[in-house]
Amino acid sequence: MTITEVSEKFGISPDTLRYYEKAGLIPHVTRSAGGARDYQENDLQWVQLAVCLRRAGLPIEAISRYVELNLQGEGTLEERVELLKTQREELQKQIRETEEALQLLEKKIRKYEERL
């Protein structure tokens, strides 16, 4: 797939894809004989993971570290699990905070609607 096709598939810009690659979130994208990006299934899996983790709020550095550990092989499984658990805890905290904010907004809306 071309960078434009991948961009459309995942709803991000080609510039974002290039940035993710440069930042180490998408390792070793396959290239055509002419040097153009030619995304293969393995590349798409990395893109999907990067997009998912970014949308979940994970920092670039954490995702890059995960990819780096993954590329080092089986000896880094424990560290990868710990990294993902830490990020999961942070995401769960953000979800709780967002839910609290949503509840407060709902309460305010109900009060205002009652007054209308």
pLDDT tens readout for residues 61-111: 999 999 999 999 999 999 999 998 998 998 899 999 999 999 999 999 999
Beta carbons within 8 Å of 11's beta carbon, 6+ residues apart:
51
- Cα 92–Cα 110–Cα 98 angle in degrees, nearest 5: 10
**104, 96 contact by CB (below 8 A):** no
Q: Which pLDDT score, from 0 to 100, does residue 56 have? A: 83
| Number of domains present in the structure of the chain | 1
Domain of residue 59: give its range: 3-115
- pLDDT tens for residues 20-72? 999 999 998 999 999 999 999 999 999 999 999 898 888 999 999 999 999 99
For residue 24, the domain's CATH number is: 1.10.1660.10
What mean pLDDT value characterizes the chain?
Answer: 94
